Amino acid sequence: MRGFLDFLIRHYFTFFFIFLQSISLALIVQYNQRQSVVLINSSNRFIGLINRKLNTIESYLSLRSENERLLQENVKLRNLLPDNYKPNRLPQTYVNDSNLSQIYQYIGCKIIHSSTHKSRNFLTVDAGSLQGVTIGNAVISSEGVVGVVKTVSKHYASVMPVINADFKVSCRLNHDDYYGSLVWDGISSRGGFLNDIPFHVKVAVGDSLFTTGYSNIFPSGIPVGTVKKVSSEGGDNFYTIAVDLVVDYKKIQSVMVVNQLLKSDMDSLSVEIDD
């Protein structure tokens, strides 16, 4: 308290000067209309500037909650899509009340770590076995294919994205039933190659690529990329097709894990066929 009093005494003349200046300014504004109008306009501009800055800050701070709301809304809508269900075709009676069985379940989560500059990049998401995530689950975003779950703990999972040298996914052209294998180009975080498309198939720059559903991981029809360049050079009978990936791995923040609920049944059938 003594220090504060010493400060006031030391700067007494400065505070007294500011006090007199404030009184002078108030008198000028009160008895001079022109100065009063100028002060009011200046004050309004200053207050308007402050309000705009505050609104900008508030809008920025609300983006996180808005993104979370949109993610949960996308998850809810994905879980309601007709493609997530198949009809129960029992020969005599229906055991279930519903005529449909759910095939896919979507789990919303956030990316908490990612790499884009390595040959074998990985992502980490904040959902694990307690949320229903299992090894082999597909991972997508609102834009399209992101990757596949490789390891899972109780609360987290690591995802091998398309931009990993070991990643492959079956894709088809939007206008044709022909499909090939898409791999990363190993250079750009937005680049890939579509292989195994023969010369007699019509392919043009700008054609869209979608998942086929043959891998028993990704649902059919998920966007993967667009054709960037088509080349017929080489000694084989297949195009060299450069692809622009739909997902920007340097910006992506939210994803959805796709749980294929009938995968174990299909895998067991595959084992029986192989045997």
**Model confidence at 48: pLDDT above 90:** no
**Residue 79 near residue 140 (C-beta atoms within 8 A):** no
**Model confidence at 172: pLDDT above 60:** yes
Choice between 91 and 113, residue whose per-residue pLDDT is larger: 113
Q: What is the pLDDT of residue 66?
A: 67
Q: What is the pLDDT of residue 23?
A: 73
CA 122 to chain centroid, in Å, comes to 15
Q: What gap in Å lies between CA 211 and CA 146, rounded to an integer?
A: 12
On the CB side of 69, CA atoms within 13 Å amount to: 5
Q: At what angle do helices 33-80 and 12-31 cross, to 10 degrees?
A: 100
| 251-273 tens-digit pLDDT | 999 999 998 877 666 565 554 44
In this structure, whether the domain defined by 107-274 belongs to CATH 2.40.420.20 is answered with no
* Exposure class string for 106-134: b at 16+ Cβ within 10 A, else e: bbbbebeebeeeeeebbbbbebbeebebe
| 195-236 tens-digit pLDDT | 999 998 999 999 999 999 887 789 999 999 999 999 987 667
Q: What gap in Å lies between CA 26 and CA 88, rounded to an integer?
A: 83
| Domain range summary for the chain, segments of one domain joined by + | 2-58, 107-274
